[in-house]
A and B are shown apart, each in its own frame.
Chain A
Amino acid sequence: MKKKSTTKKGSVARRPANRKQQRDPVPWKAIVLKVGLTLMVLVGAYAVYLDAAVIKQFEGKKWAIPAKVFARPVELYVGKKITIPDLLAQLQRQGYQPVEKVSRPGTFARNRNRLEVYSRGFHFPDGSEPTRRATVEFRNGEVARLTGQDGRTLPLLRLDPQPIGGIFPASYEDRLLIRLNQTPRYLIPALLAIEDQDFYGHFGLSPLSIARAALVNLKAGEVVQGGSTITQQLVKNLFLTNERSLARKVKEAIMAPLLELHASKDEILETYLNEVYLGQQGRRAIHGFAMASQFYFAQPLQELDLARTALLVAIVKGPSYYDPRRHPQRALARRNLVLDVLVEQAIIPAAEASRSKNLPLGVVSREMVSSNDFPAYIDVVRAQLRNDYNEKDLTSEGLRIFTNLDPMIQRKAQKSVTDILKQLDSQPQDSPLQGAMVVSSAQTGDLLAVVGDRNPGYAGFNRATEARRPVGSLIKPAIYLTALERPDRYTLTTHINDQPLKISDGRGGYWQPQNYSRKSHGKVPLYQALAKSYNQAAAGTGMAVGLVSVLDTLKRLGIEQTLPLYPSVLLGSSSMSPVEITNMYQTIASGGYQMPLRAIDAVVDSQGKPLTRYSLSVERVVQPGPMELLRTGLGLVMTEGTGRGAYQYVKPGIALGGKSGTTNDLRDSWFAGYSNDLVAVSWVGYDDNRPTRLTGSSGALKVWGHFMASAQVQPVTALNDSNVSRKWVNPQADGLSRRDCEGARLLPYIKGSEPRVYRGCKRLEKVVDDTDGVIKRFLEWF
């Protein structure tokens, strides 16, 4: 015990000296174990946390797919008015490839006046259109024959519609979704060969890939391959930022295997194909191969050949650095490098690579695939959609919006505005002369074109919808229509007074309208007052029939805004936009039917299920008799009044109807008119409202005439109405005449209101309007 005690004592006594020795061998193992365990727990917890994030974000991944907006599809049939150059330009804009012999969808071959087209299939709101191979023969600016592949007559050929824009979310990401099995033959092999050769073998990370990439890069003398796997790239794109830090790399390295745990290889690859960033256009970011194919080639991804597929794969590494539009040499070199790698990997034979290397990049111009080529039209579409859909659905649900925009009419309208304004304003200043134009289908109200600026594609102030300007004489048809609806008092040849008048303006003062020429013309036939746009005659007639009645007529014709009950409204002091005026003239062009302008035809969801159809609705608001009389008057505006300048452009035999409008101090120049098939309204003026030195006839009419000539319009035809009879009359005497009399005219009358007394052949129309004199007319065209 003692010993034991001593020993114990001794050992206790020794302890201070030994303690030092014992402290030296630190229990590293234990510490490492503990720290390791702690770290493992922490990393494990972090991995569990990241795993939850991966599951949540990947499995719940739903891209916001912007609504896609389409133009009206080109539809070909015998009798369709279209020229070969117009159709060729449209086909190329839609990415159809010219070939010697057509063999696949999306190609065409021309042989003089014959065009062989292999159309793409498309799912329309009214059903699927199969892909078709057809031959179109043209004669005299129209389709003369249409035959199918079997040589039999084909009644119709509907092409796929041109995409014209999208309604983007705040991120401005644009993409089209594709399935793995929808990709062209070489896309996946080429992508894996360049980006991740071990994709189907690794677990998310690939040390082998890093080593191989280093070797390949060393051999090539530049960075050809990256070491990151497709899974890592996807993780980075989906969950992480672009920040170059170790922390991000670690996160990526943990998340990539986690993603592999939860998703199959094909799911990862398909997501990558749709996610990858491949280009930029302004704020719009191009994501996924399908959108990139449209963006660079205006073609569906499935149609891409080897060379184009290789280019898309080449761009993945750096969409900005290898931008084929800005840096074509770099892009070409890298595309060819991709082709070389494909040969090395025995994916394609060398001969095929060398054939593809000889091909140009094939990239279409940025303008051709602009996501917003027709911004003014898209504005109208967007406004209409916002009435019916919420913003989130529009920017994320992949809706497809089928519009009535006719791309050929739209381009012609824009060209007319741009070209004529250049002529009128040869030395544009800081604030140049501006213009706007709206075109609709005369019989159906389909909105075909909207031009909001003289510069094509300008996406700023939209003058067609937002610029409200006094409309001047454009209002006069409403006055004369109100009068002509009272056949007991007014006919086209009723003499009305063009004389000075003084009317209380309703605000304590007087309104004393003047004619443009500052001269009064005395008693003139009603149609002449309309054709020559006499202000005093119009104001007097308006007051005689009643301001309230005229305002009611304007409402019936489609002017929705409430106009003030002031006499000056009779001469167009109220401000309206070109679209509002189009509504009014649409009713006249259709023969008295009011129909809302329709920019959208139908909306379908991402699965192709129709959601809304904007169907035709019509309402007769003017009886055919008075409307036929007014239309006759508006026809005379074109042949002998302020609209006759149109025939400098349009073939003289083609009957048109229309009216010019000029406002105080020549600040606004308007023209509104129609053919049998189209209504068009043009406006020319300055944004700061300074005088233009242009009348309606010397400004807007030129734009209008230029457009109508290029659009190959059809002549206006008379309305059918049993209540109208036509008589040969002597208009200056408001009496009956004979066909063979000089100056006699055949004019329509509501039955019972025809002149009864024969007034013979005397008195030709006197030319009293000196402003419309020959010299003035001549000068107007310079």
Chain B
Amino acid sequence: MVLIRRFKGRGQRSSLQRLLLLVLVGTVAGCSTSVLMPTSPPALSSSQHHDAVGTLLSEAHQAMVERRLGDAEGLLNRAMRINPTSPEVYYQIALLRQAQGRTTQVRQLAERALSLGPNAALTRDIKRLIGR
């Protein structure tokens, strides 16, 4: 009796490789403006629960870097439950969807992040993600 279900929407290798490459380039360049996935955990702007959400976002970030996308999903879901109107969380989920190759969702989640009033820096990152 073997269960064959696996993660839904598992990431495509090509997009994952692209993403990792971008992260590496960003790290080497030491700047955070030209990468899709931030190399350091995102700073929180208006979150009411800084420590809790911040901790989860850091862990999710680490999980994404280590390509533990399932773990990252779980951690981001927890962050979203604690603060369901945090644009940072939706932005991170959009990045995760990109790593998973779910491109339609990248745009939808990024738009959702934009609708939640991100600060200027985050707005720039989100817009860059969706090429606006």
- A residues neighboring B (CB under 8 Å): 72, 75, 77-80, 124-127, 153, 155-156, 388-389, 392-393, 396-397, 399, 441-444, 446, 591, 593, 601-603, 605, 610-620, 624, 676-677, 717, 719-721
Contacts and interface: CB of A to CB of B under 8 A. Distances in A.
Given A155-B55, A611-B5, 16 more contacts: A75-B78, A75-B82, A77-B51, A78-B49, A125-B74, A126-B74, A389-B5, A392-B1, A397-B3, A399-B3, A444-B81, A446-B81, A613-B8, A614-B8, A617-B108, A618-B108
Contacts of A721: 115
A443 B116 CA distance: 11
A624 B115 contact: yes
13 contacts: A77-B49, A126-B78, A156-B51, A397-B1, A591-B115, A593-B108, A601-B77, A602-B74, A605-B3, A610-B70, A614-B8, A615-B9, A620-B112
B115 A612 contact: no
Contact of A612 (B7, B81, B109): B7
A311 B58 CA distance: 46
Given A389-B3, A677-B84, A720-B115, A126 B71 contact: yes
Nearest 3 CB-CB pairings of A with B: A126-B74, A77-B52, A443-B84
A127 B62 CA distance: 13
B15 interface: no
B99 interface: no
A156 B55 contact: yes
A593 B112 contact: yes
A233 B66 CA distance: 51
B49 A124 contact: no
B39 interface: no
Given A126-B70, A610-B70, A615 B8 contact: yes
In this complex, the interface size class of chain B, counting residues with CB under 8 Å from chain A, is 35 or more
B115 A613 contact: no
Contacts of B3: 389, 393, 397, 399, 605, 611
B111 to A, nearest CB: 6
B56 A616 contact: no
Nearest to A717: B85
A616 B116 contact: no
A620 B111 contact: yes
A277 B85 CA distance: 49
B75 interface: yes
Contact of B7 (A77, A392, A610): A610
B114 to A, nearest CB: 8
A153 B51 contact: yes
Given A612-B8, A616-B93, A617-B108, A443 B85 contact: yes
Interface in B1-42: 1, 3, 5-9
A705 to B, nearest CB: 23
B77 to A, nearest CB: 7
Nearest to A603: B5
Given A126-B75, A612-B5, A156 B52 contact: yes
Nearest to A73: B78
Contacts of A77: 49, 51-52, 82
B74 A444 contact: no
A677 B81 CA distance: 10
B82 A611 contact: no
Contact of A444 (B6, B55, B75, B84): B84
B27 to A, nearest CB: 25
Nearest to B76: A616
A630 to B, nearest CB: 15
Nearest to A617: B105
Contacts of B56: 156
Contacts of B52: 75, 77-80, 155-156
B62 to A, nearest CB: 11
A720 B116 contact: yes
A611 B10 CA distance: 12
B8 A393 contact: no
Q: Which of B54, B75, B112 has the most CB of A within 10 A?
A: B112
A401 B50 CA distance: 30
Nearest to A677: B84
A561 to B, nearest CB: 24
A64 B114 CA distance: 48
Given A389-B5, A441-B81, A611-B6, A620 B51 contact: no
